[in-house]
Amino acid sequence: MIKPHGTDQLHPLYVMDAKERAALTQEAERLPSLVVSSAAAANAVMMGAGYFNPLSGYMTLADAISVADQMRTTSGLFWPVPVVNVVKDASAVKGQKLVALRDPNVEGNPPIAVMEISAVEQATPEQMALMTQKIFRTSDPKHPGVAAFNGVGNTFLSGNIKVLNFSYFEKDFPDTFRTAYQLREQMQRLGWNKVVAFQTRNPMHRAHEELCRMAYRDLKADGILIHMLLGKLKPGDIPADVRDRAIRKMVDVYFEKDTVIISGYGFDMLYAGPREAVLHAVFRQNTGCTHLIVGRDHAGVGSYYGPFDAQTIFDQEVPRGSLQIDTYRADNTAWSKKLNRVVMMRDAPDHKPEDFINLSGTKVREMLSKGMELPVEFSRPEVAHILMKYYQSIEVGNRA
C-alpha cells in the first residue's frame, strides 16, 4: 500500500485512548479557551483524522509564508496550503501555554482540541497580501476563498494540538464521514492497492460517473474512492446531505459491488483551484489512494483559474518526488450524440458543441425546480429525482 505523505506510518492527532480523551476533554473545560474560526476547526478535524499527516499542529507565521510562497515549510516538508489558526483577538489566551480550542460550528462551542501554544504572531498587511496572492492567484475580495482567508484576522497561533472530536461531521454524517486511517484500513481489508480518488463537492451526473469508470479501467485500479467534502461551501451549492443521498443511490444502482467506497471528509472548501488540487492529492495519498482524478477547473470558482491550471501545477510547481500519488487528468466529459456514450471532449475532435448533451448548472436547477425530467444521457433518473425534491423544497420555501 502507498505510504502516507512524509512518514512511513500515519500519525493522526486524534486522542485514540478513550480514557485519555475523556480526561483531556474534562481538563479542556477548565483551560483558558478561544472559539476558533470554522477554517481552523476544519484544520483540526483534518489533522485529527490523519488527512494532514505529518503535521503535528498549526503552522507558525514563517511556515505559513514559506508554504504559500514555495509550497514548503521552513524545515523542508512539501505542503501546498498553510494550515493555520488565525484569530482577530488572542487576548483571552495571552501568556498561556496550554489552551482549549472551541468549536464555532457546534452549539455551546465545546472544545474540539487542546493546543500547546508555541507562538502568537501578527502578520503584516504585506504578509497577508503575499499569502493571499500565492494561495489563490488573486487578491479579489469577491473570491470566496480570499474573503474567508482574510476575514478571520491576522493573529497566528501556532503549536501542537491534540484533537478531542471530529466536530459535527461524525454526528451529522455517521455513514459517510471517515478518517484517513479508517479508509486505509478499509482498503487493506478489501485488498486494494491501486485506488483512484474522485473529489466532489457536487452531486454526480452521468459524466462524473463515467469519468470514474474511465479512470478505473485505464489505470486497472482495484477500486474507486468517491470522496466528498462535507464542510462549508459557498451559498447556492448543494448541501452535503442531499449530495450524499444522490451519490449513494447512483453507486448502489450503477456500480459493481465492492468497487467503490463512498466517503466524506470534514473540511471547508477553499476554492483555491491549483493549490487546492495539490492539497487534495496530499490527503488522498494519506488515505491510501494511488491516483487522484483532476478534472477541468478542479477546485475552481468563477473564472479565476484557467481550465487546466489544476493539472499543469503538478508539472510546473510540484517538485518531482514530492508526492507518491499520481494524477489522472481529465477533460470535460459529456454524452456524445454521435457515439451514443459519454466521452472526454478531447477524445472527440470531430464533434461540434451541438454533438454533446451538456446542460449548465443554471439550466439544471431551473428544470428540476419546475419538476422537469433531465435527459437520461445527462443524469440518472434516480439521482435527478433526489435533486428535484431538494430544489422544489427550496421553491416552496421561497414562496412561503
Indicate if 165 belongs to the active site: no
| Structural contact between residues 327 and 294, judged by C-beta atoms closer than 8 angstroms | yes
| Catalytic position from the list 21, 201, 213, 245 | 201
Are 117 and 36 in contact, with CB atoms under 8 Å apart?
Answer: no
8 A C-beta contact, residue 4 and residue 54:
yes
Q: Is residue 201 flagged as an active site residue? A: yes
Torsion sign across C-alpha atoms 70, 74, 78, 82: negative
Cα dist from 34 to 53, 61, 257, 387, whole Å:
24, 19, 46, 39
| Dihedrals phi, psi of 23, to nearest 5 degrees | -65, -40
Residues 6 or more apart whose CB falls under 8 angstroms from that of 139 comprise 129, 132, 133, 146
**Single-letter residue type at 376:** V
- 3 state DSSP class of 128: helix
Point out the catalytic residue in the list 109, 160, 202, 332.
Answer: 202
Number of H helices, E strands in the chain: 13, 14
In the DSSP assignment, the letter for residue 17 is -
- Give the separation between CA 118 and CA 58, rounded to whole angstroms: 10
CA distances from 327 to 52, 109, 146, 278, 316 (A): 19, 39, 26, 10, 14
Q: Kindly give, in sequence order, each residue whose CB lies less than 8 Å from that of residue 375, ignoring residues fewer than 6 positions away.
A: 335, 357, 359
Decide: 351 and 336 in contact? Cβ < 8 Å.
yes
What distance in Å separates the CA atoms of residue 92 and residue 102, rounded to the nearest whole number? 12
**86 neighbors 129 (Cβ within 8 angstroms):** no
In degrees rounded to 5, what are phi and psi of residue 145? Answer: -70, -40
Ramachandran assignment for 83, one of left (phi > 0), alpha (psi -120 to 50 degrees), beta (any other):
beta
Catalytic residues: 201-202
